[in-house]
Structure 1
């Protein structure tokens, strides 16, 4: 009896869609232009597309050049892709209700960023000693709040060794949602860690 195989099985598996391409950049720019009140810079698109392809990104830019944009534009793209699955992006798969975890060395930057990003429709939560204390006054546990419906979770570095963060990572539905980890102003982790913020270098 002849060996009859399914023709579909003989075809090569489709290659994974590459965002770091002319087509990918064009797609991301068109989406972000719809979601934001401004046009992203080319260098921002380059980093975002690399991140969407699964590459690590280390961005060096002057103050005010839009480094924060890498974080929120990335998660905006992930949210768009998960909410609008299309066949033109084979091999691309992100979890539903994705979240990016961002480590911020200063509470001021963290809280300012959280407030700003809500204007772009992102559910954002900042967790540091101050916000934990304020929430506890109203009977709220921010580590429980962070478990769902948060797209951007911003933490001060010392919170990474907090029992609350460990419990959050132990909660499987949360860590399955994590699509990226970002560190804002990473040079401060070293310079401040060696002087007055020892927890930064742990």
Structure 2
């Protein structure tokens, strides 16, 4: 007995139809209407494409991080809405953002938090202040916050140091960070060549 139910046409998020779907999802979870640029970048990332974005300061790069932070888990939770899409990332994804300066890290952290995104900035200066704080366990609180954040903003010094590896249990393939870390964003990517060939 044959079925008269037509097959579901696959939806690609890097098409006009996919961008329209992302826009409708974004309107449900973001406190603002996302730029077309943000939707385009998010669509390409969902389709497992690397993205190199060159744009002016203030053009909405932080908004892209916020959109990804909301959309990735939302798409996983709405599998019936996009039945042809198989998420390639963890259902509780973490986004790691490398920043060239501490000031930029803190600025992005502030903006993301104002949009309701769980974000934690980690750099040597923040950890040093926590170590010198009179508040007991201040440094531990920072690491715990990072482990429960959707977005971790990280300095290159911490990424290449032992402390981050130990705290995030990077030698253990089954660690929660290893299984959840889904996207790496390098902010101000033109700085990479200054960071050296070991990057």
Give the aligned partner of residue 146 of structure 2.
146
Q: Tell whether the 8 Å contact from 2:122 to 2:153 is kept in structure 1 after alignment.
A: yes
Give the aligned partner of residue 119 of structure 2.
124
Give the aligned partner of residue 92 of structure 1.
86
> What do the CA deviations read for 1:115-140 (whole angstroms, capped 9, x no partner)?
11112221111000111122333423
Give the aligned partner of residue 166 of structure 1.
165
Cα distance in 1, alignment partners of residues 14 and 83 from structure 2: 13
Deviation of 1:15 (Å): 8.0
Q: Tell whether the 8 Å contact from 2:13 to 2:44 is kept in structure 1 after alignment.
A: yes
Q: Tell whether the 8 Å contact from 1:15 to 1:91 is kept in structure 2 after alignment.
A: no
Does structure 1 residue 101 correspond to structure 2 residue 84? Answer: no
Which of 30, 33, 39 is equivalent to 1:45? Answer: 39
Relative to the length of structure 2, the TM-score reads: 0.81
Q: Tell whether the 8 Å contact from 2:94 to 2:151 is kept in structure 1 after alignment.
A: yes
> What do the CA deviations read for 1:55-108 (whole angstroms, capped 9, x no partner)?
100000011111222222112110212333325232422313210000000111
Deviation of 1:189 (Å): 3.2
Higher alpha-carbon deviation: 115-124 or 15-24: 15-24
Cα distance in 1, alignment partners of residues 79 and 183 from structure 2: 20
Identify unmatched segments of 5+ residues in structure 2.
none
Q: Tell whether the 8 Å contact from 1:17 to 1:92 is kept in structure 2 after alignment.
A: no
Identify unmatched segments of 5+ residues in structure 1.
1-6, 8-12, 194-199
Which of 18, 22, 25 is equivalent to 2:19? Answer: 25
Aligned residues: 182
Does structure 1 residue 78 correspond to structure 2 residue 72? Answer: yes
Alpha carbons of structure 1 residues 44 and 91: separation in structure 2 relative to 1, 3 Å: closer
> What do the CA deviations read for 1:1-53 (whole angstroms, capped 9, x no partner)?
xxxxxx9xxxxx98864211122101111121232233222222111100011
Q: Tell whether the 8 Å contact from 2:23 to 2:34 is kept in structure 1 after alignment.
A: yes
Cα distance in 2, alignment partners of residues 144 and 164 from structure 1: 14
| Structure 1 vs Structure 2 CA RMSD | 2.3
Deviation of 1:155 (Å): 0.3
